[in-house]
Amino acid sequence: GTHGKTTTTSLVASVLAESGLDPTFVIGGRLNSAGTHAKLGAGDYLVAEADESDASFLYLQPMLAVVTNVDADHMTTYGGDFSRLRQTFVEFLHHLPFYGLAVLCIDDAEVRGLLDQVTRRVTSYGFSEDADVRAVAVVQQGMTTRFRVECAMAAAFDVTLKLPGRHNVQNALAAIAVALELGCEVPSIQRALAGFQGIGRRFQAVECTLPGGGSVMLVDDYGHHPRELEATLAAVRAGWPERRLVLAFQPHRYTRTEEQFEDFVQVLSRPDVLLLSEVYAAGESPIPGADGRTLSRAIRIRGQIAPIFVDPVSELPEVISGLVQADDIVVVMGAGDIGAIVTDLAHRLAGSGAVQ
């Protein structure tokens, strides 16, 4: 899927491990509990994060395939043709054997649209009333989200997830659907989700005690697509509605900035304070009108927020530390080198205080 792959893969691996299946896993992020991206297990299952960005997921022959969502990203791989991207996902699902299972998030309109084209067994998941594995009664308090799971494969049960946001409930539902298909017991699923320690740069939060009193929560996140920004900002608003939200964002790739420009302008107008840096090129040549300054100007013209443009990105810690207030939540987002500023920023914020 376009979003949520790393978290979903990590949750699946964690649930299978808690169920005693000792899976091998290969993940596009560092699983905090294991301290690594990959591990060779002794069990029968391999849990892999499959990537559509370069269409390399077509090399895989899965027994069970999860699709979280289908969104416009990495469109150069597909010649700018969304229908080609959509059909590539159908082709991926048809790599399943006739006895295989497709686990699909039908909250996503594009994934729901694939249902009639998939000629394999399907388990659907999401908040939708017709989902086979469904979450209801969702309540978020800070970093913890609680919900009830309704499904045909087991009696309804409650889940406590140590991840914020409705998007992470969807990711957890995918892992639950996989686990139930493989015969995992509900108590093992509940323990794994309650004890999940997260993934590097996926809403990775530390609390910084300010020298003058009070504290700031600093969140490091890899998100770089408008939909990912939207999900992360919504998670912050839901968990900490009374706190000021400061977002530092580094756009990633000129092509993505150009293709998603209006969506970026809309979502980046939502924080209380926005710091924007220049686009991280990732090997691309600049595209006129798709740079950080132009994006910053478009957000300013929209009139909801006055962004602060900071270039180079290495100057962000000094600028942020000069404007934060006690109880702020500072979210640092982007897939480029912006993640490298987080340690420096944490120590600047804390001064002689503590970072936890």
pLDDT in tens, 7-23: 999 999 999 999 999 99
Res 353: pLDDT: 55
**Residues 306, 187 share a domain:** no
Q: For residues 146 and 161, is the Cβ–Cβ distance under 8 A?
A: yes
Res 267: pLDDT: 99
Averaged confidence pLDDT in the chain: 96
Q: What would the pLDDT profile of 88-117 be if each residue is shown by its tens digit?
A: 999 999 999 999 999 999 999 999 999 999
284 is catalytic: no
What mean pLDDT comes out for the span 255-279?
Answer: 98
CATH number, domain of 44, equals: 3.40.1190.10
Q: How many domains does the chain have?
A: 2
Phi, psi of 276 (to 5 degrees): -120, 135
**Residues 37, 15 share a domain:** yes
Q: Is 199 within a domain?
A: no
d(CA 217, CA 257): 28
Q: Is 356 within a domain?
A: no
**Residues 148, 37 share a domain:** yes
**Three-class DSSP labels, 242-305:** CCCEEEEECCECHHHHHHCHHHHHHHCCCCCEEEECCCECCCCCCCCCCCHHHHHHHHHHHCCC
**Residues 274, 181 share a domain:** no
pLDDT range class, residue 356, cuts 50, 70, 90:
low
Q: Strands 245-249 and 329-333: what pairing?
A: parallel
Last residue of a domain, one of 174, 194, 214: 194
**Residues 141, 78 share a domain:** yes
39 is catalytic: no
Instruction: Tell whether the model's pLDDT for residue 178 goes beyond 70.
Output: yes
**Residues 109, 239 share a domain:** no
Q: What would the pLDDT profile of 275-327 be if each residue is shown by its tens digit?
A: 999 999 999 999 999 999 999 999 999 999 999 999 999 999 999 999 999 99
Res 260: pLDDT: 96
49 is catalytic: yes
Q: Single out the catalytic residue among 7, 9, 49, 257.
A: 49
Instruction: Tell whether the model's pLDDT for residue 340 goes beyond 60.
Output: yes
Res 354: pLDDT: 56
Res 192: pLDDT: 98
Q: What would the pLDDT profile of 71-84 be if each residue is shown by its tens digit?
A: 988 888 889 898 99
**Residues 102, 57 share a domain:** yes
The counts of H helices and E strands in the chain are 11, 15
**Residues 183, 84 share a domain:** yes
Q: Is 103 within a domain?
A: yes
Q: For residues 193 and 175, is the Cβ–Cβ distance under 8 A?
A: yes
Q: Single out the catalytic residue among 6, 68, 232, 257.
A: 6
Q: Single out the catalytic residue among 5, 123, 228, 259.
A: 5
Instruction: Tell whether the model's pLDDT for residue 34 goes beyond 90.
Output: no
CATH number, domain of 279, equals: 3.90.190.20
Q: Which domain holds residue 155?
A: 5-194
Q: What would the pLDDT profile of 134-172 be if each residue is shown by its tens digit?
A: 999 999 999 999 999 999 999 999 999 999 999 999 999
**Residues 216, 80 share a domain:** no
d(CA 37, CA 28): 7
Res 18: pLDDT: 98
Which of 13-17, 50-54, 267-271, 334-338 comes out lowest in average pLDDT? 50-54
Q: Is 285 within a domain?
A: yes
**Residues 225, 112 share a domain:** no
Q: Is 72 within a domain?
A: yes
Last residue of a domain, one of 194, 223, 240: 194
Which of 176-190, 201-215, 286-300 comes out lowest in average pLDDT? 201-215
Res 73: pLDDT: 85
Phi, psi of 245 (to 5 degrees): -105, 115
Res 171: pLDDT: 98
Q: Is 178 within a domain?
A: yes
Last residue of a domain, one of 176, 194, 212: 194
